[in-house]
């Protein structure tokens, strides 16, 4: 048993509980939230190195034999996502010191973040399909708190749609898990893979695979199930929007990736072709939304939808190159979306509006902010050697190898539309004539917002420029996704 892999889940949960007390003491709330995330991040880094050196780690609660107990599994895919999640959370909390209002900080804002991290990291780590539902519910309950925190009219309007959609999705999730259990008689993911291989995925399993795609697709915001995302996310305060945009849809993407590479792998001509079609449609819908609006929040939110499509296209190709690209791009998108939301948060703070048509000339007073935004925008679009380039190149290469030539060319072409959508923000907000800003800008608050944002942008640059250092980890993740037997053997036959 290796209880060490539970630390990135247990530490945020423990700190979430102690932060329930002392709500009025902001120093206590801020310092303990950063301390908790910092300790969890250190444990995640240690776990990442252990998985790299010793292979997949697992623990089964109660020391029951697999598959009878609830198993937690840390492989290269999950540990990379857990580490990235905690890194982003650290910067979001730091950024929030200058962005979130003190009234919100004093009303369970920090415990909400900690419990979201508990749910996200648990979902990435669990080896049990029903436990995946449980961790989904943990992160959703915490997200319900954060999305309504402050009680503004727009928030309440957006939150109603968000809560209703997730309640329906959760009910469908339980029903689909029940269908799967009735056919295979197990909930352990590795054992599910074994049982489905034994019966060679009959038609009923393919139907269940499509149902899971609907469930996870609703959470990941794929076409046509993304309709709830823009208005729900746009209503939240910037730090909460950053956390949601960087993390929550990625849990849905991870769930599709895990199930569609581990056990729904015997009817690729149907399940994965359907996934490819939906991925391309998701990119088209995201591009239309990103180009149609003048609201900076909505432009970046629709870019979340585009990225989900790109990642899932890589997953649908089911070869090692495309899956390696999907992992590269998934981590890139988590980092770059967090950086971009933080950057537009600063722009909104300075101008007092999210409407591009009311902005202009910020480059004269805030050149560092302008350059940071431009670098992040180029990174999002995949301009070499920045972070989006390597992942997208591998996904396209994998698409060509799988024979999806025209689809792969479309993925490349979509980069131009992504670049156009984010460059519009630069041209409107930073270029042109300087326009009046709403109220005075507090320099100390600006610095508090800019420092974590600039550091995160530098990390995204390092991720792209230093991609050769990351490649060995991505190779391990891609091999694991390509060959399900590695995961199955480690869980079913491991100590």
Provide the mean pLDDT of the chain.
90
Asked if pLDDT for residue 436 goes beyond 80, the answer is no
- Integer Cα distance of 406 and 404 in angstroms: 6
Question: Which pLDDT score is estimated for 191?
Answer: 92
Q: What is the 3-state secondary structure (H, E, C) of the chain?
A: CCHHHHHHHHHHHHHHHHCCCCCCCHHHHHHHHHHHHHHHHHHHHHHHHHHHHHCCEEEEHHHCCCCCCCEEEECHHHHHHHHHHHHHHHHHHHHHHHHCCHHHHCCCHHHHHHHHHHHHHHHHHECEHHHHHHHHHHHHHHHHHHHHCCCCHHHHHHHHHHHHHHHHHHHHHHHHHHHHHHHHCCCEHHHHHHHHHHHCCCHHHHHHHHHHHHHHHHHHCCCCCCCCHHHHHHCCCHHHHHHHHHHHHHHHHHHHHHHHHHCCCCCHHHHHHHHHHHHHHHHHHHHHHHHHCCEHHHHHHHHHHHHHHHHHHHHHHCCHHHHHHHHHHHHHHHHHHHHHHHHHHHHHHHHCCCEHHHCCCHHHHCHHHHHHHHHHHHHHHCCCCCHHHHHHHHHHHHHHHCCCHHHHHHHHHHHHHHHHHHHHHHHHHHCCCCCCCCCCCCHHHHHHHHHHHHHHHHHHHHHHHCHHHHHHHHHHHHHHHHCHHHHHHHHHCCC
User: Is the model's pLDDT at 313 over the cut of 90?
Assistant: yes
Q: How confident is the model at residue 1 (pLDDT cuts 50, 70, 90)?
A: very low
pLDDT for the residue 155? 79
Burial per residue of 168-205, b for 16 or more beta-carbon CB atoms within 10 angstroms, e otherwise: ebbeebeebbebbeebbebbbbbbbbbbbeeeebeeeb
How far apart are alpha carbons 448 and 98 in whole angstroms?
Answer: 6
Question: Which one, of 132, 139, 114, lies nearest residue 176 by Cα?
Answer: 132
16-59 tens-digit pLDDT: 999 998 888 888 999 999 999 999 999 999 999 999 998 899 99
Statement: residue 2 has pLDDT above 90:
no
In total, the chain counts a number of residues equal to 495
User: What average pLDDT score do residues 86-105 get?
Assistant: 89
The mean per-residue pLDDT over the stretch 364-369 comes to 89
pLDDT surpasses 80 at 152: no
pLDDT higher than 90, residue 437: no
If you average pLDDT over residues 66-74, what whole number do you get? Answer: 87
Q: How many CB atoms lie within 10 A of CB 96?
A: 28
Q: Is the pLDDT of residue 62 over 60?
A: yes
pLDDT at 494 over 70: no
Dist CA 197 CA 490 (whole Å): 17
Q: How much is the pLDDT for 443?
A: 84
pLDDT value of position 112: 93
Is the torsion defined by CA of 286, 328, 73, 7 positive or negative? negative
What band does 438 get if pLDDT is binned at 50, 70 and 90? low
Predicted confidence (pLDDT) at residue 452 exceeds the cutoff of 60: yes
Is-contact 351 362, C-beta < 8 A? yes
Phi, psi of 459 (to 5 degrees): -65, -40
Which pLDDT does position 149 carry in this prediction? 81
If 0-12 CB within 10 Å is exposed, 13-18 middle and 19+ buried, where does residue 106 land? middle
Question: What is the structure's pLDDT at 382?
Answer: 87
Least confident of 256-260, 388-392, 454-458: 388-392
Q: Is residue 248 over pLDDT 80?
A: yes
Residue 157 pLDDT level (bands cut at 50, 70, 90): confident
Which residues in 65-92 are b (16+ Cβ under 10 Å) and which e?
ebbeebbbbbbbbbbbbbbbbbbbbbbb
Check residue 105 and give its pLDDT. Answer: 80
pLDDT higher than 50, residue 307: yes
Distance of CA 15 to the CA centre of its chain: 22
Q: What is the pLDDT of residue 455?
A: 96
């Amino acid at each position: 048993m290796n209880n060490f892999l539970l630390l990135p889940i247990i530490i945020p949960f423990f700190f979430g509980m102690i932060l329930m007390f002392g709500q009025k003491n902001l120093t206590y709330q801020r310092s303990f939230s950063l301390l908790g995330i910092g300790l969890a991040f250190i444990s995640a880094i240690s776990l990442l190195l252990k998985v790299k050196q010793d292979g997949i780690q697992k623990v089964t609660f109660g020391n029951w034999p697999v598959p009878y107990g609830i198993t937690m599994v840390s492989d290269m895919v999950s540990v990379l996502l857990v580490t990235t999640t905690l890194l982003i959370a650290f910067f979001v909390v730091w950024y929030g010191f200058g962005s979130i209002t003190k009234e919100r900080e004093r009303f369970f804002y920090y415990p909400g973040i900690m419990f979201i991290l508990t749910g996200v990291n648990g979902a990435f780590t669990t080896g049990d399909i029903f436990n995946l539902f449980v961790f989904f519910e943990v992160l959703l309950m915490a997200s319900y708190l954060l999305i309504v925190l402050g009680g503004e009219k727009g928030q309440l309007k957006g939150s109603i749609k968000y809560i209703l959609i997730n309640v329906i999705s959760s009910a469908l999730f339980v029903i689909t898990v029940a269908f799967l259990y009735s056919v295979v008689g197990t909930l352990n993911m590795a054992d599910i893979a074994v049982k489905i291989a034994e019966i060679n995925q009959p038609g009923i399993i393919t139907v269940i695979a499509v149902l899971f795609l609907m469930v996870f697709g609703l959470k990941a915001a794929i076409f046509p199930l993304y309709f709830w995302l823009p208005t729900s996310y746009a209503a939240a305060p910037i730090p909460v929007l950053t956390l949601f945009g960087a993390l929550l849809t990625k849990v849905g993407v991870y769930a599709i990736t895990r199930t569609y590479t581990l056990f729904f792998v015997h009817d690729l001509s149907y399940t994965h072709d359907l996934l490819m079609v939906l991925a391309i449609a998701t990119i088209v819908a995201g591009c239309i939304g990103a180009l149609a609006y003048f609201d900076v929040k909505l432009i970046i939110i629709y870019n979340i939808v585009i990225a989900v499509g790109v990642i899932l296209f890589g997953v649908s190709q089911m070869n090692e190159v495309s899956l390696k690209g999907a992992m590269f791009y998934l981590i890139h998108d988590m980092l770059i979306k967090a950086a971009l939301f933080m950057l537009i948060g600063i722009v909104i703070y300075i101008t007092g509006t999210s409407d591009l048509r009311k902005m202009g000339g910020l480059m004269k007073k805030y050149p560092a902010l302008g350059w940071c935004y431009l670098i992040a925008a180029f990174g999002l679009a995949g301009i070499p050697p920045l972070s989006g380039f390597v992942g997208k190149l591998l996904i396209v290469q994998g698409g060509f190898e799988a024979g999806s030539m025209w689809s792969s060319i479309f993925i490349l072409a979509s980069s131009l539309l992504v670049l156009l959508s984010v460059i519009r923000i630069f041209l409107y907000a930073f270029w042109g004539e300087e326009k009046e800003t709403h109220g005075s800008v507090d320099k100390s608050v600006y610095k508090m917002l800019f420092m974590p944002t600039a550091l995160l942008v530098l990390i995204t640059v390092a991720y792209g420029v230093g991609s050769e250092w990351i490649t060995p980890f991505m190779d391990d993740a891609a091999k694991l996704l390509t060959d399900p037997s590695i995961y199955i053997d480690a869980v079913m036959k491991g100590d």
